[in-house]
Structure 1
Amino acid sequence: MNRVTRTRLAVTAAVAIGALSLTACNGDATVTDKPKAKASAKAGGDSKPAETSAAPAVAKIGDTIGLKGMEGGKLDVTVVKVIDPAKAGDEFTVPEDGNRFVGIQFQLVNTGAKAYSDSPANGAQVTDADGQQFQPTFADLSAGPSMSSDVRLKPGAKALGWITFEVPKGVKPATVQFSMNSGFADQTGEWKLK
């Protein structure tokens, strides 16, 4: 390889890295922990519309956050349940020594006008009170089916599944975050787990 070819390759690599850095470090990123207001149905045969209760100040287990992704994508994301510690779905899958599994069940509803296609676990992480972050791991849980690694939802469709995290035994997860587009969307939802 001659000197000119090496120089061209170096310039091409620098441009590619710069473009990736600009894409990943968008200044429009936000984290929201404000859940949507919940509609409460009236008992009986009332023809009055359902009342809407005020949304709590901070999202917690059971709350839904509306998120926006790239290219007009929209999801209503709900943290349905948390199991800590969680049990693996088979006897062969075990966490590393000193760790345990934590399972978080998510429900995703496509509220956008376009189809949603993603690997949702790529955009999820749990954080402890000290700010340590833990990424998902591949482990099926006895609690139920895992979230698919290839979710495809038409507008109005939903997906339900568990995302598994491996955390040290002495660590208490304080929050879970979820972002669309495998974590590259500008908007991230955050739920308190305590």
Structure 2
Amino acid sequence: MTDPVDARLLGVVAEMGRAAVHEVAARLGMDPREVASRLVALSATGLPLLVGVECDPGRLRQAAAAAMAATSPPYGMPYPVQGTPTGPYPPSGPMPVSGPMPGPYAQSQPGHGPSGPHTVMPRTGPPSSPFPAQTQTGPPSQPFPAPIQQPMPQVEPPISTWGPPQTSTWARGDAPPQDVTQPTIRAEKPDVRQGKVGSALQTEGLEGERLSITLVEVVDPADYLFTAAGYRLQEGERSVVVHTELTNRGHVAFQSLPDLYLVLVTPDGKTISKAPVSLSSRPPHRIGVPPGETQGGHTVYVVPENTEVTSVRWSPRPDEESRALTWIIEN
């Protein structure tokens, strides 16, 4: 390798281990596009270098759909029709018919051709006559006498031997039946959105995914794990490692990174995002969780040494507070 810029670039990437392109470019004072181009070219030479990308799938699909809608032609644009007559249309009216008229009674007059006038031949046979009326020969009918309304006897309702329905009590003639006990209907428990370390909380994703997320462990401080992976902390910093597991309980695949918006929360409400590093002994999360599966991973944070962390919060997007989950960290 003879290019000094590539050498400096590889040195920074090797020091950071895992970082975003714009962060590498900021440390080198270079254009992020040039850094991305050089990294892709270097990865093609066989170096142990992987250039990837992370995104918010839901918002990215919305942006792509908006871009396609902006470039599509407006709906209902008229298109020219070839062969449309330009002159006035002929006046409406009955169309002339030539040739013999169809039907069993059509016949041409003698001396005329097929297109001459036609006559309709009358039907032959005796004229129809009305049917003679039938003469009634029996005695005249008499009206039926109206039936005499008989009063209905009063019937006492039968006494149930087994008691009123939906009861298990025996009915006795000397004691009234007991009250019917209504079955208890249990309402479905709502999703729990707050808990402690070790508890599983339920929520929904941006695409309607049914998710259950468990905060398994919080390692604070985790400097020994950080340095064992080959990283170096600056003076006055400490590292924190959070282990979470995500279970997809629904039928829609979760297509994002499980810890994309997993943050630490301080007593004053400030949030700390994850660091762009991964530990060899504690593997990170992978993108996507199919329905019915559970996947775990570890998230690394670098915080000021004296910063207190009071809770861990997960959300599918920072502005989706109604779907956020919070785990309280007890000292």
TM-score, normalising length: structure 2: 0.38
Match of 2:219 in 1: 83
Q: Report the CA distance between 1:95 and its aligned residue.
A: 3.1
Report the residue type matching 2:242 in the other structure.
Answer: I
Q: Report the CA distance between 1:162 and its aligned residue.
A: 0.5
- Find out whether 1:135 has 2:265 as its counterpart: no
Match of 1:66 in 2: 202
1:163-178 mapped onto 2 (5 Å cutoff)? 163-178=299-314
Tell me if structure 1 keeps the 8 A contact 2:220–2:239: yes
Match of 1:47 in 2: none
- Structure of greater Rg: 2
Cα distance change on mapping 1:101 and 1:162 into 2, 3 Å: same
Counterpart Cα distance in 1 of 2:257 and 2:275 = 13
Counterpart Cα distance in 1 of 2:319 and 2:268 = 24
TM-score, normalising length: structure 1: 0.64
Q: Report the CA distance between 1:183 and its aligned residue.
A: 4.1
Q: 2:262 aligns with which of 124, 133, 158?
A: 124
Cα distance change on mapping 1:188 and 1:56 into 2, 3 Å: closer
Q: How many residue pairs get matched?
A: 139
Which structure: greater strand fraction?
A: 1
Q: Which has the higher contact order (CA 8 A, sep 6+)?
A: 1
Report the residue type matching 2:203 in the other structure.
Answer: L
Q: Report the CA distance between 1:90 and its aligned residue.
A: 4.1
What is the Cα-based RMSD across aligned positions, in Å?
Answer: 2.6
Q: 1:109 aligns with which of 231, 247, 251?
A: 247
1:1-194 mapped onto 2 (5 Å cutoff)? 58-86=194-222, 87-88=225-226, 90=228, 92-141=230-279, 143-148=281-286, 151-180=287-316, 182-183=317-318, 185=320, 186-194=322-330
How much identity, in percent, do the aligned residues show?
Answer: 24
Cα distance change on mapping 1:71 and 1:140 into 2, 3 Å: closer
- Structure 2: runs of 5 or more not aligned: 1-61, 64-190
Q: Report the CA distance between 1:91 and its aligned residue.
A: 5.0
Q: Could you say what secondary structure the match of 2:255 adopts?
A: strand
- Structure 1: runs of 5 or more not aligned: 1-18, 21-54
Q: Could you say what secondary structure the match of 2:221 adopts?
A: strand
Counterpart Cα distance in 2 of 1:105 and 1:137 = 14
Tell me if structure 2 keeps the 8 A contact 1:123–1:178: yes
Counterpart Cα distance in 1 of 2:261 and 2:249 = 18
Q: Report the CA distance between 1:58 and its aligned residue.
A: 4.9
Report the residue type matching 2:284 in the other structure.
Answer: S
